[in-house]
Structure 1
Amino acid sequence: MGLITPRELVGVEELAPVHFIAIGGSGMNGIASAFLDLGYEVSGSDRQDSKYLRGLQERGARTYIGHAAEQLGNAKTVIASSAIRDDNPELVEARARGLRILHRSEALGALMLGRRGVAVAGTHGKTTTTAMIARVLTELGTDPSYLIGGAFLGSKTGGHIGTGEALVVEADESDGSFLQYPAEVAVVTNVDPDHLTNWGTAEAYADGFVRFATKPELKLLIVSADDPGAVELVKTLRESAARVPEIITFGTAPEADLRLTDLELTGTGSTFTLTDTRRGVGGPVRLAVPAKYNALNATATYAVATYFGGETAPDFSEGAVRAALGQFGGTHRRFELVGTVDGVRVYDDYSHHPTEVANMLGETARPAAGEGRVVACFQPHLYSRTRDFWREFAVALEQADEVIVMDVCGDREDPIDGITGALVSDAIRPGTANVTYQPVWDEAAPTVAAIARPGDVVVTIGCGDVTKVAPKIVDELRRRTAEAREA
């Protein structure tokens, strides 16, 4: 796939009508929604139906399932992501017609022009933090615009164009997209090497964040004081001779500017004390989402909200920001409850990096299970990531009681010899989790349902099509329960 090269941005008024290839994707549907909000003609295609696709249809977009050259219609601009192959028939046709072809990040960057951008970056936590910032600024009355690589629970889109000045975006580092965005404020949740197929080395990956944090238009950098990679980023910036923005650090570290203390995890939520050590203000926060990492995301959100809120929110106060944090209810596929059957709770989670899997299992699934077991159904995503991190995935999964490992979801990649889900399942150490390797996709749900028992928390894990397994597990549990009652 490789890294993109940032290009000069073109105003959105020059782009329409626009056609999106893979319009239903997590990184694309929000951008398409934003163009619809602005009144532009939108069309697009995707390889399969989804709630995102249906939501865009309801709002007036012309959508197609499957890709074909004639579906471009009267498009002036075609927008694609790094996941789209060069031989895609719509991309081939766009080139043949001489249409403007933009990478997804260029379309997002175009939407940021003329607005006060907030770019949320980091290896983990981008989607939740972006959504949390958007929700808090909304609660404060600022009506922000936002573009999230996911959706609020109960919503069919991750995009909205509001009347306020702020535009909050999820800034993807995987292909270097985050270097495209003209942001006034940047958030870095963590720097944990990933996407090395594109970046080459961990050092190059870390340097990408340095470049992101030193873009000339950036005025404020909000960065973790706990994550080692983020701490190293701050050290590099402060030792640099280059111009750097104002830096605000957040976390549990004693030296953090915004410090989180007294954390108590309460099942599906948490409480903690948030103190702005620079101003000597702060107080209690109660979240409706679980885990320490969400408390850290909330602390970063507080920094953004106090930066913007004091200028634009009619009812702004420091206490109002802390209260607004409690109104955030989560995002799609972040430990999302899919169903409960006979005491078995089935969740779906997007975690696809070893650190994310470990944090989710240890800080979210385990407390939620209480006296019950944690049953993890894991699908490795991408052959390259599985090749690079199979040992680390195995260690992370050992926190569960039962692990079902599916085969790799290759998505945009071609298979790599010897790289299968068995690499992960075979590396789980005896005496930790009980492991089952199930390479047949259609057998995953029955396998999980046969293992689960009342009191268990079952969670499907990964950013591939494992998300479709979760409802199948619920259906299979219902079928088994009905059969048992009839017996």
Structure 2
Amino acid sequence: MIHLMGIGGSGMAPLAELLMIKGYQVSGCDRDRNHRVDRLISLGIKCYRGHDPAHLKSVDRLIYSPAISPSEQELIEAREKVSTVQSRGEALQQELKEYKVVGIAGTHGKTTTTAMLSYIVNNSDISALTFLGGEISSQQSGLSWAESQLAILELDESDRMFLLFKPFWGVVSSMEVDHMGKHYQTKDQLYSAFKQYLTNSENKLVMVSDEMTSKLTEEMGSEVITCGQDENVDIYFNANFDHMIYQDRVVKLPVWGIHNYKNAALAITIGGLLGIASEKSIAALQEFPGVSRRNEIFWQNSNLTMISDYAHHPTEVYAAISTAKEIYDKVTVVFQPHLFSRTKMFASEFAQSLSNADEVLIMPIYPAREQPLPGVSSAMIADSLNRLGKVNLLLPDKQSLMQWLETKITSMNGVVILLGAGDVDNWRGDLVKIAEEKIK
């Protein structure tokens, strides 16, 4: 029996499904039940609520999510009693070690790029297994299974899992400082990890989009194929808010925002390197339904739209709000910071990005795998916003947010964005209920 701790996570649920398809007996547990857990249960996978060493009976291989604390008693006892204990990355690498891997890594854009490439491949003559830490909106899973020796994977740098792979194509979408703490203490360490990832790759593609990717491609020289909006790259494109120029062709897709057109350009470029003509890739993306929690509309009427977005880094927050400002008259953001360490590092940068919204509501930090840090709270962001002269509302809990919405929603217009990588997305049902009860 293989048991997955944190089975409801965006990178764990598709792994559980992959293991089941490959014929293993699978069980799992998670602190909370979500739509991914519901799907796994419907597939016949036993899922427990909460963590308990009692789950380890008959388990001979345990896989744990990066979100699981090392002090979790179930994990501690597993290390003593279970013959094989693996991280998510170690397990995925073991299961796909015979595959020709296209790995997509990067601080921003890797989920959407992988999803777009998956959609392109699934509408081509090429067959590939695809695995991403999100879900294409028309699907319920981050796994798209195929009887193929080609695997397209979103590879995460946060826990260094991308260094476990030796991809046929190693792709980097972007590089910025993030995930400082356990695995990276300095910017140089993060940079070195990305460089090692590319060194491990047989073929290399980098989208030149920031200071670190520029430095990386300069250092690695002709080893790397480059793409981007710099005229010196090998494959040039020009991304705009509502279209892009790709290989001298004007391309309009059912996406909004410069960041999404950059993701699309990278996906089309990878498709070309795999032998898919750009015309076919562009045609496929004309029908691309989007990715869950990436500018995902979950309710709207003629005056008000509600969106969920996974943005959890200042650059991503800025992109999400800037895109919304181009479309809606008023932008109200409900922001749930993710991780104490990230909030400590980027409090002022978050405030700068959030200041572009018309109205900002700040929720408590979602801790995920972390313990609280002394003096670190959402108030750091609120204080920085105050110093910028931006009015904001610091709320103590979800209930306070719902009470605020109940009094305001009938007069609201434009868009409300649930922003963050924590459980803020789980609140959408409460928002919809309030909207449908209050707005006639």
With normalisation by structure 2, the TM-score equals: 0.95
Distance in 1, matches of 2:304 and 2:74, equals 44
CA distance in 1, matches of 2:245, 2:256: 15
Q: Distance in 2 between matches of 1:237 and 1:317?
A: 27
Q: Which residue among 451, 455, 478 is the counterpart of 2:436?
A: 478
For residue 465 of structure 1, the aligned residue among 410, 423, 431 is: 423
Q: Distance in 2 between matches of 1:386 and 1:35?
A: 35
**Equivalent residue number for residue 188 of structure 2:** 203
Partner of 1:273: 245
For residues 183-332 of structure 1, what are the structure 2 equivalents within 5 Å?
183-198=167-182, 199-215=184-200, 218-238=201-221, 246-261=223-238, 263-265=239-241, 270-275=242-247, 283-308=249-274, 310=275, 316-332=276-292
Please say if 1:401 is aligned against 2:367.
no
Instruction: Please state how far the C-alpha of 1:345 moved relative to its aligned partner.
Output: 0.6
Partner in structure 2 of residue 384 of structure 1: 341
Unaligned runs of 5+ in 2: none
Q: In structure 2, what residue type is equivalent to 1:303?
A: T
2:298 to 338, 348, 360: 338
Letter in 2 for 1:468: N
The residue correspondences of 1:418-429 to structure 2 (distance < 5 A) are 418-429=375-386
Letter in 2 for 1:258: I
2:62 to 67, 78, 97: 78
* Structure 1 CA distance for aligned equivalents of residues 286 and 301 of structure 2: 29
How far is the alpha carbon of 1:27 from its aligned partner? 1.4
The CA distance in 1 between the partners of 2:186 and 2:407, in whole Å, is 42
| Equivalent pair of 1:377/1:448 in contact (CA under 8 Å) | no
The residue identity in structure 2 corresponding to 1:351 is A
The 2-side partners of 1:186 and 1:115 are apart by 14
* Amino acid in structure 1 at the alignment position of 2:160: G
Point out the more displaced range, 448-457 or 108-117.
Answer: 448-457
1:432 deviates by 5.8
TM-score w.r.t. length of structure 1: 0.86
The residue number in structure 2 matching 1:41 is 25
In structure 1, the residue matched to 2:318 is 358
Matched AA of 2:357: A
Of 333, 350, 371, the match for 1:414: 371
Distance 1:393 1:412, change over 3 A: same
Q: How does 1:51-130 map to 2 (within 5 A)?
A: 51-130=35-114
Residues 7 and 65 of structure 2 are in contact (CA less than 8 Å); yes or no, is this contact kept in structure 1? no
C-alpha distance 223-451 of structure 1, shift in aligned 2 (>3 A): farther
Measured at CA, do residues 433 and 345 of structure 1 come closer, stay the same or move farther in structure 2, by a change above 3 Å?
A: farther
Superposed, which structure 2 residues align to 1:176-187 within 5 Å? Answer: 176-187=160-171
Q: Is the 8 A contact 2:62 2:82 kept in 1?
A: no
How many angstroms apart in 1 are the aligned matches of 2:28 and 2:366?
A: 24
In structure 2, relative to structure 1, the CA distance for the partners of 1:283 and 1:64 (3 Å cut) is same
CA deviation profile, 1:48-83 (whole Å, cap 9, x unmatched): 111101111122211111122222342221000222
Question: Which whole-Å CA distance do the structure 1 matches of 2:29 and 2:305 have between them?
Answer: 34
Equivalent position SS for 2:283:
helix
Q: CA deviation at 1:430?
A: 6.3
- Of the three residues 116, 123, 137, the one matched with 1:139 is 123
Indicate the SS of the match to 2:437.
helix
| 8 Å CA contact 1:225, 1:250 repeated in 2 | yes
Q: CA deviation at 1:433?
A: 4.2
- Please give the root-mean-square deviation of Cα atoms over the aligned residues, in Å: 1.9
CA contact (8 A) 2:112 2:263 kept: yes
* Partner secondary structure for residue 224 of structure 2: strand
1:197 partner SS: coil
Per the alignment, in what secondary structure is the counterpart of residue 48 of structure 1?
Answer: coil
Q: Distance in 1 between matches of 2:327 and 2:37?
A: 32
Superposition deviation, residue 264 in structure 1: 4.8
Q: CA deviation at 1:437?
A: 0.9
Identity of aligned pairs, percent?
Answer: 30
Structure 1 portions without partners, runs of 5+: 1-16, 239-243, 276-281, 311-315, 483-487
Q: Using the alignment, how far apart are the partners of 1:349 and 1:432 within structure 2? A: 25
* C-alpha displacement of 1:109: 0.8
1:203 positional shift: 1.4
Distance in 1 (CA, whole Å) between partners of 2:438 and 2:342 is 36
Question: Contact 2:307–2:415 (CA<8 Å) still a contact in 1?
Answer: yes
Q: How many equivalent pairs are there?
A: 438
The residue number in structure 2 matching 1:151 is 135
